[in-house]
Amino acid sequence: MRAGTVVSFDIDGTLEIGAPPGVITVAVLRTARHLGYVVGTCSDRPVAHQRGLWAQLGLAPDFTVLKHRLAEVKAAFTAAAYYHIGDTDVDEHFAGLAGFHFLRADTPSLRAWGPRLFPDWPGPHVHPDHGGPP
């Protein structure tokens, strides 16, 4: 499948719905979909659990994979850019192996890369507990 931009999200420590919660709000997922990005999760959590999280949000992901299978996402979608957003060195490692740009999910890093992916930055994209809008 051809896509402009593929964005993969880790869950725990990255998304506000993770355990522990991260800096990325559900609004980011919705905005990414609205912008036409191919969006999904790449996590240590089982794929069935990932799909359940998406269902709870009322969103349909384009993919759900385990971290070590991120390269399969790149093989499935031809795109101009591939990003994996995560909070650990493990995320960075697997993103690099799969040929994805790694974007760290912490407040200082988010301020640097957020405007590149989301034109109305900062908007509702950073959880208020992590320096985002109220």
Which has the higher per-residue pLDDT, 119 or 82? Answer: 82
Q: Considering only CA atoms, which of 86, 85, 87, 83 is closest in space to residue 74?
A: 83
Rounded Cα distance, 68 and 80, in Å:
22
Q: What is the pLDDT of residues 30-84, one digit of tens each?
A: 999 999 999 999 999 999 999 999 999 999 999 999 999 999 999 999 999 999 9
Torsion of CA 119, 113, 123, 132, to 10 degrees: -170
Predicted model pTM: 0.89
- Round the average pLDDT of the chain to a whole number and report it: 89
Lowest mean pLDDT among 20-29, 74-83, 98-107, 120-129: 120-129
Strand-pair partners of 79? 3
| pLDDT tens per residue, range 54-65 | 999 999 999 999
What domains appear along the chain, each with residue ranges and CATH number?
A: 2-7+17-122 (3.40.50.12350)
Q: Tokens 């719905």: give the residue.
A: 17
